[in-house]
Amino acid sequence: ARIMHVLFYHDIQDAICTLNTLQTNASALEQVRRERGNPQFQLVAMRSFLERAGLVVEDLDNLNIIHVTGTKGKGSTCAFTEQILRSYRFRTGFYSSPHLVEVRERIRINGQPIGKELFTKYFWQIYGRLDETKEAHSGSMPAYFRFLTILAFHVFLQEKVDLAVVEVGIGGAYDCTNIIKKPWVCGVSSLGIDHTQILGDTIEKIAWQKGGIFKPEVPAFTVKQPEGSMAVLKQRASEMECPLWVCPELEDYQTDCGPLQLGLAGQHQRSNASLALQLSHTWLQRRRLQGTWRTLPSLHGPGVPQATPFTPSPIMTKGLADTVWAGRTQTLKNGEVTYFLDGAHTTRSMQACVSWFQEAAVRCERNASGPVARVLVFNATGERDSAAMLKLLVSCEFDFAVFCPNITEAIASCNADQQNFNVSVENMLRRCLDNERSWRRHHGAGDCPPGRRGPLLIRDAGLSPAPGRGAEALVFPCILSALQWAAQGRDPVLLSRDTDKREAPVKPSVAAKAALLREVREIHVLVTGSLHLVGGALKHLDPSSCSK
């Protein structure tokens, strides 16, 4: 049995390592170059890859899909929606991105990542079919996300789900998930500026891309949007003859048990929950009425009509309260260290993160038995405006700011799930140094508002910072070393993982800077700026995140 286990584990690692080659293989890079000037070709190529994998677009109609796009909150909206419909005992499929700890998280059945055995079996089925046909197609293989999208559709069909909740990757119009022709309902969460090189540099251009998932006579819902983006969504819906509604406020839903309770923290989750209620309610209507829709709205008048705030069933109410979505406004307490994890990576989502953290941290500090220190662990990737995000974070009054790349630990051989070959280590570290300099500039220019505590919570204990020190900023080579420094041996989970043998010792000068952290009663750590960073942190902080 032991030999079989070793062989099986080797198989899943082989699958993941083979999957990772699709991040950088020459044919995938050629696809990117070819499609940059002709985005419509992405969907043509996707159809070809799907057929080579043994599927046809019409097969996807059997998945009764809920298709969701947006800039901020689309993953949380999907999580609420999936939980509600699973609470009705439907067999659910859920495709999301990116993953936090293991790639299998992207493809879920009944809320759980598919098991290692199923992932391995279905991976090699799809990869084998594509590999066998590549010579007849100029050696082409799908890139990483495109392959996973095909794999998800294959898994959902083979596992005979009642519905699939599908989160768009980037944009909408030319995203490879948009090969879907007949979803049951579509949703658009809050829009903002992100992925500007791909989607455009204005909110209107981005809204045009997002509205590309609308389909003729398929109901669609959006949360309230800025005026310019709402006008574009309305125009796109009208052009495609797609009925579009805007969701009501969450407090407008009538309940018999008081205000609706959400499993996800933060005020910004309220609009996501309202969107999820409309998506699940519409899906249930179609399921029960076998294709009969509510009266379609007219999009010829001013504005977008508001959807009716109905009375959620007890099952819906419970679904909202039971929703869990790791790495988004998540709080995790390990001994004397409390971690606040949020994958905010745009300016708007960071505003929401700051609001949530300040409220949650103050609540925890009230219950602390002594002085508390705050530590920021931050990284941002790609074209994100990290300077703008860091400027927002200054208001949280951190005692230390720690920057590290999205490298889980120094020894990467056991982290195939979290390897990224598209960015060099040198570039990642350079970005960290840039972030550190931005932080120092922002922090040096900022003064504490009247009536707020100074930069060190621990002053109440009679401990003073070095003269002129301000908030310390440090750069570490990986996520594990950053967390170890922030926790200072006070996180029992980190201590139990026997990580000291894998990490280089910290320089005495760096260790000395943490003297204050060793003397406070509790340490509060906010991990934010990147979902990949949050995922790497969860791998070390929460053993249950490494699913079986």
Give the total residue count for the chain. Answer: 548
Residue 155's closest CA among 191, 118, 197, 209? Answer: 118
Alpha helix positions (H), 211-268: 227-239
C-alpha distances out from residue 331 to 36, 229, 378, Å: 40, 33, 16
Give the start-end residues of each E strand in 51-209: 66-69, 92-95, 107-109, 112-113, 163-167, 185-188
Contact 236, 212 (CB under 8 A): yes
328 is in an annotated binding site: yes
97 is in an annotated binding site: yes
Q: What's the distance, CA 359 to chain centroid?
A: 22
Strand 112-113 versus strand 107-109 pairing type: antiparallel
Contact 527, 337 (CB under 8 A): no
Tokens describing residue 175: 């995203």
Give the start-end residues of each E strand in 454-511: 472-475
Residue 149's closest CA among 13, 49, 24? Answer: 49
281 is in an annotated binding site: no
φ, ψ for residue 440, nearest 5 deg: -65, -40
Tokens describing residue 21: 């080659």
Amino acid symbol at 540: H
CA–CA separation, 298 and 242 (whole Å): 10
CA–CA separation, 254 and 310 (whole Å): 7
- Residues 430, 435, 441, 446, Cα dihedral to 10°: -170
φ, ψ for residue 424, nearest 5 deg: -75, 155
> Within a 10 A sphere around the Cβ of 168, how many other Cβ atoms?
29
Give the Cα-Cα-Cα angle 72, 77, 78 (nearest 5 degrees). 115
Give me the half-sphere count of Cα atoms (radius 13 Å) on the Cβ side of residue 373: 28
C-alpha distances out from residue 367 to 54, 332, 434, Å: 57, 15, 36
Give the Cα-Cα-Cα angle 513, 514, 517 (nearest 5 degrees). 145
Q: Which residue bears the tokens 């195939």?
A: 416
Give me the half-sphere count of Cα atoms (radius 13 Å) on the Cβ side of residue 278: 31
Cβ density class 421-446: b for 16+ within 10 Å, e for less: eeeeeeebbebbeebbebbbebbeee
CA–CA separation, 474 and 62 (whole Å): 52
Residue ranges for the known binding site are 97, 167, 195, 328, 342
Residue ranges for the known binding site for ATP are 328, 342
Residue ranges for the known binding site for Mg(2+) are 97, 167, 195
